[in-house]
Structure 1
């Protein structure tokens, strides 16, 4: 047992000595109890691993040369497939044991591993947006690690980072309690930002639903697409919306921001009215929108790093294009162009700062890191203001049109009054004649001109009303579809004048058979309909149909002699249930055809399984 303990202590001391030797290249970073964050960059050493093969054992056993990060303005390495190792030696100068937080300020890092060798063993922590959220050592939107130190303790931290996105490795060290307060403030700020986006999207969605103006729904689409991208960029999407979708976590940023670029081009076309005010720009924007939509789809298929580069180039190009279009529209005095240029100028500034920082051409600061959010917030507020101005302009134009219409109406009234003084009696007579004519026209529009019965349009209106009454009263309603038998030979033999006389006789006989609540109508040709309300049951409907059939079978007076016209009657019944007039008519029509197929001059009720009853034998 004693030999084992001694061996363990020797191994621990060896590891501690190796870590101390490895960290001898830079002065340790002193950690005290102050709440302000510390910038560890002057104390960090960097090692590039192009092959991604180095492990912690390689660094401890045969440490390669690290380069000091002190001369660099920041730790942004742009887009790279290399792995990067950071080495940082820290020493606690606090009077008591404490815990610090190492925070990497750029949330879109794929994988970050922290190793802390020491006498108690190796401590390994992990984070990054390609890890499921629950697998991160500390649950946070950024890569955050715990660094516990005893009073006066000195440790060497090794950090390995790989990422398909921009390798922005700037970090800060905080006291744990100070970081907690800082983190809460950061989350509150982002909550306000995304709350603003949500409010703008909801407000303009309501305007779209009210006005049906395409510009508003395009604005909503732009805000939503941009929100997806920035949720990924800030790490909130991976924390709250897709904590386990690690593949989508890397794709959401290029997809969302590239889609936002495409929708913004469509929005610009609608907002500036380029089809009318700037046809050439309209063609250019149409081509650009098609290309950007294709690139949006490609971001889901391309390697992530290439997709991110396409995103940066597309966003910058789109913003420059829209800014140029806006300036052209300002020169052409297009309404709303000035505020459009101002809005896209804000976004352009943010996009340029972010793109230059991503390509390691600008240092990483609060402004360059959050340039897109700041610029987009200003841009969306200005565009929303522009849409509000557009809404007010539409409202003003509508009110102006109403005023002009009212003025025209008043002019007409004045003219009418002038005419009334001279031709008052004539106007009154003509007005009364016109009213009578309109009344006759309305009556004729709902009547069959030959028989005077209700026509097809009137039947549809009255049948729908009758069905609702029957449903409300829970009473059956019967519909009889009557087709004359042998009418065409009679019409061909005696001529159309005799045929018309027979049709009028049939109409009169239907009126005679109909009760006060029934509606006789002519569908056209030799087809008639009788709608019967308040029938008691199927037998009652059959009796009514039998009465109609017997009445129609009486000899006609259209020509001398015993000329009889029979009929095939199909009856459908609505039992107070929710059935449409079309379905009821189709059921009666099928029943009528069954009656004809069974020998004509018969009655057939819909849904009867037995053969049609020959209620009037021939």
Structure 2
């Protein structure tokens, strides 16, 4: 009965519940939207607190973009329908070439115990103008940027610093105009003069270290080019100098100290110097891997890119800012891709330095991609996008100097080996028969003069054909090289080891020693050569036969000793199990 009454009551109330449920849902949705909109309606209050520097403008101001860049400050202030928008706390302004960005903000009343400045930490900014009303109602302009000589800035500095005046009673209204062909995404912040001084001391330390490294690299490159007659060092010196000059341009040091009265060059110096820096870096990589000798096609491609960079630098020096990014970005993409491709190509073909060059160039390519994204307005201005390229090169250039030094050592060793080919066996590094005979003659004469005995050993490798049948051609070709290594490890510093022919070796062992001591030399060498060789099968052992003679007792001249030793080894039957043979006394 109860369930029937309840069911009838519930069925009768459905018509009332449906509209109420719709109202409650609409009310809940409106409440959620209102709560979500509260952070958007609230703004960060500008508080010039000396303990919290730098103080960001954040979303305290409003901005508007003049699409034609035609309005003056009076027109911007008086027009009411410009569509001002809240400044983003952290973001990128949609500023295009030929447009002007206007930002208005109010500095609340605050005690003026310190001198405050509006800072835009972007040395490559074209123009920044800060307007404020004077007592007569006229707008007073402070201007900074690349298009204005640094000597005419209100506060000459590496990047724009504009004075902010305010008082403790009334708010102060400001309007900021920014023109920049590369868009604008730099932070706008307020700092005191004391904070600027402290931060510049830290920056000066960093820049001093960087410029010192660049100067050191340039000096080392010039010394290497003069002393070693190596063109790679000349490219290294040019690259180091251009890296330093590019850092001068990108940090604003050049506009402040080197060319303060040349706004045209200040505006163009960064792109021109960066282009030449990339050209020198590309040529340096190509030279280190000896590209001209290894691939004529790739070398022509590198020189075509270098000539294109030279032409591009001229175009960048003559064109306006709006066109420079369009010209520069393809070259910024081409050079690192080509450089990485060259290093990868060299590494894949066995170049001992190609892998190290590829590894050292990877951070540079990554940081350059971030810089390109910044130029294309995909990322905001930051240390990674502005200084990342040069910071990565501060790591790459010392690595390349190490590679150059190792390359010079290798080239010097190769020249030494080429010059010594008539005296050294190229495959083993042992002396050849001619040098062996010369040293033996001197050892015999020395032994006669000092009245002691020296030993001459002739060693034959007798199982090469068996190794070829059992383990293959590679093992048979490598086995004599391993025997040469064992002979070198057995010989003392005063002894000599030689390769007399394909399967025959010789050793000179300086005396004095007795006949009993000399008898132990052969078995020791045989045992050493029977030990397993790394990289070869365990059963792949070198079977050798050793004939030795004491000189001058068993031969007065080198020719006689060599002839007797060769005759003794030749006369041994192939089935003989004996390995060491001594010559009888010479009569």
TM band (smaller chain): 0.5 to 0.7
* TM superposition shift of 1:155: 1.4
Residue 100 of structure 1 and its aligned partner are, at CA, apart by 1.3
* Corresponding residue to 1:301 among 318, 331, 337: 318
Does 2:298 align with 1:276? no
Which of 342, 346, 360 is the aligned partner of 2:359?
342
Task: Give how far 1:32 is off.
Answer: 1.9
Alignment partner of 1:264 out of 269, 277, 281: 281
- Check whether the contact 2:423–2:435 (CA below 8 A) recurs between aligned residues: no
In structure 2, relative to structure 1, the CA distance for the partners of 1:398 and 1:172 (3 Å cut) is: farther
Instruction: Return the match for 1:383 from 400, 410, 415.
Output: 400
Where does residue 226 of structure 2 map in the other structure?
Answer: 209
1:355 deviates by: 0.9
Q: Distance in 1 between matches of 2:219 and 2:352?
A: 25
- Answer yes or no: is the 8 Å Cα contact 2:110–2:166 preserved in 1: no
Q: In the alignment, what sits opposite 2:197? A: 180
Match of 1:38 in 2: 55
The match for 1:511 is: none
Cα separation, partners in 2 of 1:405 and 1:264, compared to 1, 3 Å: same
- Match of 2:127? 111
Distance verdict in 2 for CA 1:65–1:390, change over 3 Å:
same
Q: What secondary structure does 1:364 align onto?
A: coil
Q: Is residue 154 of structure 1 aligned with residue 171 of structure 2?
A: yes
Describe the SS at the equivalent of 2:108.
strand
Q: Unmatched 5+ residue regions in structure 2?
A: 1-40, 426-430, 445-587
| Aligned residue runs from structure 1 range 447-462, under 5 A | none
Distance in 1, matches of 2:367 and 2:239, equals 16
TM-score (normalizing by structure 1)? 0.59
Q: What corresponds to 2:209 in structure 1? A: 192
Measured against aligned partners, the alpha-carbon deviations of 1:479-521 in whole angstroms (never above 9, x if no partner) come to: xxxxxxxxxxxxxxxxxxxxxxxxxxxxxxxxxxxxxxxxxxx
Shift of 1:398: 4.9
Distance, in Å, in 1 between the alignment partners of 2:233 and 2:442 is 49
SS in 1 for 2:164: strand
Query: What does 1:435-446 align with in structure 2 at a 5 Å threshold?
Result: none
1:133 aligns with 2:150: yes
- Once the two structures are superposed, the pairs formed by residues 456-471 of structure 1 within 5 Å of their partners are none
Q: Structure 1, residues 34-54: CA drift from partner, whole Å, max 9, x if none?
A: 152112132132211122111
DSSP 3-state at the match of 1:74: coil
Give 1:395 deviation, angstroms: 4.1
> Equivalents in 1 of 2:201, 2:161: separation in Å?
14
**Retained in 2: the 8 A contact 1:101–1:175?**
yes
Deviations 1:363-408 (A, max 9, x none): 2222222222212222222222222222333344456567767758
Give the equivalent residue in structure 1 for 2:101: 84
The CA RMSD measured in Å over matched residues stands at 3.0
In structure 1, stretches of 5+ residues that fail to align are 1-23, 423-618
Going from structure 1 to structure 2, the CA distance change for 1:46 and 1:53 (only over 3 Å counts) comes to same
Structure 1 or 2, whichever has the larger Rg, is 1
The separation in 1 between residues aligned to 2:86 and 2:413, in whole angstroms, is 61
For the residues of structure 1 that align with 2:438 and 2:124, how far apart are their CA atoms?
75
Matches of 2:212 and 2:347, distance apart in 1: 32
Residue 190 of structure 1, CA deviation: 2.0
CA distance in 2, matches of 1:71, 1:55: 24
Distance 1:413 1:339 in 2: 39
Shift of 1:224: 2.5
Greater mean alpha carbon deviation, residues 39-48 or residues 71-80: 71-80
Give, in whole Å, the separation in 2 of the partners of 1:56 and 1:355.
Answer: 33
Aligned length: 398
Contact kept in structure 2, 1:79 and 1:359, CA below 8 Å: no
Distance 1:235 1:64, change over 3 A: farther
Q: 1:410 to 1:404 in 2, by over 3 A?
A: same
1:106 aligns to what SS in structure 2? coil
What is the CA-CA distance between 1:160 and the residue it aligns to? 1.0
CA 1:233 to 1:243, structure 2 compared with 1: closer, same or farther past 3 Å? same
- After superposition, give the CA deviation of every residue in 1:49-91 in whole Å (9 maximum; x if it has no partner): 1221111111222244354354463245465221111112222
Q: Contact 1:351 / 1:371 at 8 angstroms: preserved in 2?
A: yes
- Secondary structure of 1:296's counterpart equals helix
CA contact (8 A) 2:63 2:103 kept: yes
Offset of residue 103 of structure 1: 0.9
1:367 aligns with 2:389: no
Matched residue of 1:167: which SS? coil
C-alpha distance 63-98 of structure 1, shift in aligned 2 (>3 A): farther
**Which region of structure 1 is more displaced relative to structure 2, 227-236 or 394-403?**
394-403
